[in-house]
Structure 1
Amino acid sequence: MQYAIIDESGRFGDPESKFLVFAVVATRSLIGMDKIIPAARRKIPRKGKRKFEKTLAEIKFSTTGDKTRMTVLDLISKEKLELFILVVDSEGKRIEDNPENYSLLVAKILNSVLSRNPNLKHVIIDRHFTWITQREKFNTLVQKTLKKDLFIEHLDSQQNTIVSLADFVAGAIREYYSKRNRVWREIIVKKIVNEERTTWKKLKHQKR
């Protein structure tokens, strides 16, 4: 697997957001991956309760209904890919949203990806930070932690639907941990090759 698509579910800086879930969609090729979300969008009816989804600027797990979620996750499950999951229990602690903390979490899950896929070269991640200086600092910290040069690309998920694939996976797993809802996880479970649960307290005390 040469590509890793990353997104998270949960809110930084909010102690009420008990679980922060990171997901990686690892794949050998991006060909066809950009067609999944548009295919799901085309299945949304123009009439009825779901018609509002047609007007959404971005189709995400948190903004769509059950049928769209099922469609996207089912399409993901049929692709040749691997899923990696990192579940972080905040234990009621506030996780500051900054390049240091974000890079620590991303490096943690990428380390699992690299253990299985040492040829990983290209990381695609949702554009989390507004300022380019923040993104550059994040990139430097991730590569320093992993001791590996990677091409890290920050994309706007509204403009590139590939990022949304990881969003749906992360959302499905967070529903499982926060609400004990197994429905979404069961659709993609056979594609999960690594799923790790830890606490923010343990992670933040790790040395880079």
Structure 2
Amino acid sequence: MSVKTPYKYTSPYNTSRVKIYIDESGDLGFTDRSSPYFVIAALIVHDPLAIRRCFAKVRRNKLKKKYRELPEFKFNNSGPEIRKRILSCIASADVDIAYCVLRKEQVYPHLRSNHQIVYNYLTGSLISHIVQRFFDGGPVEITVDKSLNGIQREAFDQYLVYKTFEKNQANDLAAIPIEIVHADSKNEPSIQAADFIAGALHYYYRTNDDTFSGIIDEKVALAYDYFKGPQK
């Protein structure tokens, strides 16, 4: 069951809802074994049922035993064909994609031990840009994996609301109705879809191979390369 935070306001004037699903790929470590890149991907879903059907369709097809027994599909535990099938299905759905990529060599030394601060900043900045692009007057629902612990979760929620308000205080979006949901990715196909998107993008930045990211490229509405600024 989803755990909803108290940071919620429902508009009495507009019942349309912007649905954003967040996941990431890579890590925020700074050792020799750490990935040089960290990607946060956001899936803006206009038809959640279509995403659910993507994963149901893959499960209906003949799968190797190791895949049939998985509680959920993830980019990192899937082979190339499953990755392509799921990404192609996502690309055919009514969705938009936004993401940011951090080149960790550019992170200030004093922030390298403050992983949560870096994560909150990146996610908050990305969400604020998405809201500027897609907000239409109704509530904004942001769904993330519930893996954050209680203290981190509260700080994360507060910062997302603060950052979105701060970014939009000079325009008509200053009173954005926001709902943040922490859900189990096993029960939320759209989070699983965001995982595949983040994984495909991270794979591209690591290898310069667009075998997977190229499938979803036309769906990318916003892309931010920190610290190079917007790429789309």
Deviation readout 1:134-183 (Å, 9 max, x if unpaired): 21221111101111441011111123222110000010011111111111
Letter in 1 for 2:187: Q
Tell whether 2:147 aligns with 1:128: yes
RMSD (CA atoms) = 2.1
AA at the equivalent of 2:161: Q
2:199 corresponds in structure 1 to 171
1:206 corresponds to: none
Identify which of 173, 179, 186 aligns with 1:151. Answer: 179
The answer on whether the counterparts of 2:128 and 2:163 sit within 8 Å (CA) in structure 1 is no
The C-alpha deviation readout for 1:34-91, integer Å capped at 9, x for no partner, is: 222222222242xxxx431111222100010011101100000100111111111111
- Counterpart selection for 2:92 from 46, 61, 78: 78
Distance 1:92 1:107, change over 3 A: closer
Which residue is equivalent to 2:38?
20
Gaps of 5+ in 2: 1-16, 166-175
Q: Could you tell me whether the CA contact under 8 Å between 2:43 and 2:190 is conserved in 1?
A: no
Given that residues 47 and 95 in structure 2 are in contact (C-alpha distance below 8 angstroms), is that contact kept between their aligned partners in structure 1? Answer: no
Distance 1:70 1:109, change over 3 A: same
Is the alpha carbon distance of 1:126 and 1:83 closer, same or farther for their aligned partners in structure 2, counting shifts above 3 Å?
Answer: same
C-alpha separation in 1, matches of 2:66 and 2:26: 24
Moved >3 Å (runs of 4+): 92-97
Say whether the 8 Å CA contact 1:8–1:20 is kept in structure 2: yes
Distance 2:178 2:24 in 1: 20
Q: Percent identity?
A: 24
Deviates more, 1:88-97 or 1:188-197: 88-97
| Inter-partner Cα distance in structure 1 for 2:45 and 2:56 | 19
CA distance in 2, matches of 1:4, 1:102: 17
Partner of 1:58: 72
Question: Aligned-pair distance for 1:96?
Answer: 3.6
Structure 1 spans left out of the alignment, 5+ residues: 203-208
Using the alignment, how far apart are the partners of 2:94 and 2:125 within structure 1? 23
Match of residue 2 from structure 1:
18
Contact kept, 8 Å, 1:18 with 1:92, in 2: the verdict is no
Partner in structure 2 of residue 118 of structure 1: 135
Give the distance between the partners of 1:14 and 1:155, measured in 2 at CA.
Answer: 28
Counterpart residue type for residue 146 of structure 1: T
Alignment partner, residue 124 of structure 2: 107
Question: Retained in 1: the 8 A contact 2:101–2:224?
Answer: yes
- Which secondary structure does the structure 2 equivalent of 1:9 belong to? strand
Contact 1:44 1:51 in 2 (8 A): no
Amino acid corresponding to residue 180 of structure 2 in structure 1: I
Corresponding position: 1:186 with 2:202: no
Aligned to 1:37: 55
Which residue identity is paired with 2:127?
L
